[in-house]
Structure 1
């Protein structure tokens, strides 16, 4: 006979359309076919009162993260409490902090883990729900094979060993966000084990960790997500079951992290890696990745002492929250121990802008969850050929890209990381397209002979493009139109390559180049012309630089009447660069700015000071 279990939602009322035209309080009104994946009619909400909520119940008000942080900062200022800067708060003398992290990340798939219902972020509540998602009696899980592909990609990016056979278990607990009364996960035999991530100083780890640290990963397991709960006034909770059964991976580290900043850097690096391999495309800011941290402390005077009692902080939703919550919990535990108390094993919570963690409940253990093999889900067998195929087609990881940008093009670590991570990796693809175009124009050996040209392109892609959507533009950055194949709809790669090359060859000035970039962004250039070069020629924008003689005459005019400034060059032991630039600025203002190269003007002024003005001053 089919596996039938009584509904665990019998004490809740449904507001809106009901399943199979009946209420979940009556099991006899539900006749679900076995293992169906058909979507259900719209279910608006669940609530914990015994009365129907009014039809005009207020909608959940979304408060932007920035406003939440500002409000919390005002409260702390009013209370007189101030947080220490995290950069100076990584260690406490006499104590060692130990942190283990569990990251839950939603896989980039079209279907849920055990039903054919579609995954969804922003659709109407309860519009993507199958019978199994609600634990409807008679329904059973059907593993969706396509969810395995991004999971394996994630495991490979984390340097894990993919297991040929893994199994699913039931983790039992009751809550209204988990209709079946248990979660299907991989507790005993996960699909991936024994990974690691290397963190570098450029990843913003704690200074105490030096140039780098390796974080060991115990295992990566697949599991279901729970429903989304929306708290309403009057002890009412609305439940969106779209999220039930979403395919997750849980990444579990070894307890080897000892500094809060390094813990935050680890979570940030994991998000970057998962995004790079297309395993998880929604990060912390969109709710697609959440972190739980296990925190313990022990005194440093006994190196053989066991680790202290750990507490777990649940559902941290930002990198800053990870660091701040660890610091707060570490300090709380130290304070308790120094006062002669003991640390209770418990689950704690954290709110944005808080300075203290708060107790949620006692810590559950393996016995509390009553883990058992799931009898309805067969073992998962993963072929070595599939793993090899995914490994070979995974592409470059972020660290490889950053290393290439730094070594081949001379970018700083900060610029290289920014270029590699902006716009979900699409901006660096745009850079590679521009590089290819520049190489085709500059000829063989271009990178070795013209590295400055590629550095110029990287600088403009990283900084100048960003200015287009700031300051004088009210358009958001996402409107730049970067694409996965390395293009940009607002500033096509061909146009930027042309612009960069003309600027590198000093055929246009930086001022003209910036105005042209703005015109390209607005679609005015090339406009009626075929190329950017044609537009430059038609508008008379080519740079016609002054001759050496013209620069010298302009320098003489700029120095006229500035004997006191020139005298400072004669008396100085170190060449006064500030005074030099003052005179160069006078040259540019007095001359034809569109024909002056500031570097050329600086060189001529320096040469004239040393060979003409100072000798004349001394002779006089």
Structure 2
């Protein structure tokens, strides 16, 4: 937060929001609760049969009820409940057999009925929890892991999309109105900004893994509101002191920061609001319960309006919508068919397939998780091509190819990754040829580029056309050339023998590969035979020429 006073300006110019450590924090405790709104992956809207398409012409997918036409009635679309239930199960919630809908009254241009249909009194899911680990990016002070409670998950309508029409007008697109949402309300158990951002990131990953949400924060499919409060660490924590939120008492007065649309915005907004509240309180002021806003790149939150409370919204059960009652069969089916969650996928990749945690996280994060399926398919096909004779570390090797080689190809080409542009069978064939010793690693990388640039090219035909096949060279040729190179480079030999610089062995291998490739007109030599020949030559006494 920047202020106009010179004393504060001088202090703040020496620190940035992300990297600074506020010396006042030792006296104050931050508490954060987060409300996450995620658009569900459904074909129809929540209370009408209108489509939920994003790319349609403005105001083209709108039913009479979505616009609150007099006499129109809500018709709950049962299919919208399925992704919501998958999400709640993945968040370890207790699913309620009976839930109901309520009206939350407020008047704004994007809400045509003058109220929003939500679940306030009887939400469909309660009492869940999310465990965040060190690799999720939590704050160091939270240690190896921290568990955050989920108070409830509720279904509700989305609002219309407001578009600016300069200089002072606004346009409304009602295609989005009544799109099914879930609101995930955490308990105020977050005490560090980085952990707040990590929680939103993990919730997004969980929702995508169970096919519950349409898109992430980057495309507007998920938004977060953060409730921030601070209190002195030596304050009285008794139940009758301070304020409360989500059933937790003894907190400082909270403010709510609305509609944060990136993980960075979540972290930065918490930091800015925390520091603002501390400063106000240390200067003898009080914190007002209010709704505040945040813009990416800002250094301070701004007041939007006074904070509405339960009385302001005048919650009431919706008289037009009957309760939703779930059967045991539905619940058991969803639990049995729930896809793997991010933590389970990471465990599978690191323990079963030998990937490093870093590479496993990269695969999981890439392309909304689609590259995990691609990886598993490539790995299975490579194993099949090798006839079950798989080498140790095959899973890590295939992962390395997909992350670095395939990722590099798409990055250099300026294309988004797509299985259509590079089928799993093509990559599996290329990797198998290299593992079988039919082509060198460098030839395999060149082959990858060739078939990417022209998908109609056959892998095996391209190997023959480009003369990539490793030549059948007699063992004596390998031994003779290795001895020549060792004899001609005594300094390199001494570095290996006396200084233990084993990496220089590969210099000899590289020289052999290049020389043999020239002699045999392409295709190259067998790298393993080159390495073995160099090792044998290095064991002999050096003959200086």
TM-score by length of 1: 0.78
| 1:589 to partner: Cα distance | 4.7
Cα gap change, 1:439/1:370 in structure 2, threshold over 3 Å: closer, same or farther?
Answer: same
| 1:421 to partner: Cα distance | 3.4
Please, which of 329, 339, 342 is the counterpart of residue 385 of structure 1?
A: 329
Q: Which residue of 2 aligns with 1:93?
A: 26
Please, which of 114, 127, 130 is the counterpart of residue 181 of structure 1?
A: 114
Q: Is the 8 A contact 1:525 1:535 kept in 2?
A: no
* Unmatched tracts of structure 1, length 5 or more: 1-75, 483-488
Q: Write the distance in 1 (CA, Å) between the matches of 2:162 and 2:285.
A: 36
Q: Is the 8 A contact 1:196 1:215 kept in 2?
A: yes
Matching of residue 468 in structure 1 with residue 404 in structure 2: no
Aligned with 1:92: secondary structure?
A: helix
Q: Write the distance in 2 (CA, Å) between the matches of 1:369 and 1:548.
A: 85
Q: Which residue of 1 aligns with 2:260?
A: 316
Q: Is the 8 A contact 2:257 2:293 kept in 1?
A: yes
| 1:435 to partner: Cα distance | 2.7
Q: Write the distance in 1 (CA, Å) between the matches of 2:468 and 2:515.
A: 20
Q: Is the 8 A contact 2:493 2:538 kept in 1?
A: yes
Root-mean-square deviation over aligned CA pairs: 2.8
| 1:492 to partner: Cα distance | 2.5
Cα gap change, 1:381/1:91 in structure 2, threshold over 3 Å: closer, same or farther?
Answer: farther
Please, which of 526, 532, 541 is the counterpart of residue 612 of structure 1?
A: 541
Aligned with 1:249: secondary structure?
A: strand
Q: Write the distance in 1 (CA, Å) between the matches of 2:21 and 2:483.
A: 54
Cα gap change, 1:344/1:112 in structure 2, threshold over 3 Å: closer, same or farther?
Answer: same
Aligned with 1:477: secondary structure?
A: coil
| 1:246 to partner: Cα distance | 1.1
Cα gap change, 1:292/1:411 in structure 2, threshold over 3 Å: closer, same or farther?
Answer: same
TM-score by length of 2: 0.88
| 1:106 to partner: Cα distance | 0.7
| 1:329 to partner: Cα distance | 1.0
| 1:545 to partner: Cα distance | 6.3
Q: Write the distance in 1 (CA, Å) between the matches of 2:393 and 2:472.
A: 21
Which range moved further: 181-190 or 452-461? 452-461
Which range moved further: 224-233 or 427-436? 427-436
| 1:365 to partner: Cα distance | 0.8
CA deviations over 1:137-173 (Å, ceiling 9, x no partner): 2222221111111111111111111101111111111
| 1:468 to partner: Cα distance | 2.2
Q: Which residue of 1 aligns with 2:425?
A: 494
Please, which of 224, 233, 237 is the counterpart of residue 157 of structure 2?
A: 224
Matching of residue 344 in structure 1 with residue 288 in structure 2: yes
Q: Write the distance in 2 (CA, Å) between the matches of 1:508 and 1:88.
A: 54
CA deviations over 1:42-74 (Å, ceiling 9, x no partner): xxxxxxxxxxxxxxxxxxxxxxxxxxxxxxxxx
Which range moved further: 286-295 or 232-241? 232-241
Q: Write the distance in 1 (CA, Å) between the matches of 2:229 and 2:134.
A: 24
| 1:364 to partner: Cα distance | 0.9
Please, which of 202, 206, 211 is the counterpart of residue 269 of structure 1?
A: 202
Matching of residue 410 in structure 1 with residue 410 in structure 2: no
Superposition pairs of residues 108-507 of structure 1, within 5 angstroms: 108-302=41-235, 304=237, 306-443=250-387, 450-471=391-412, 473-474=413-414, 476-478=415-417, 480=418, 482=419, 489-507=420-438
Query: Across the two proteins, how many residue pairs are aligned to each other?
Result: 520
Which range moved further: 498-507 or 450-459? 450-459
Cα gap change, 1:553/1:433 in structure 2, threshold over 3 Å: closer, same or farther?
Answer: same
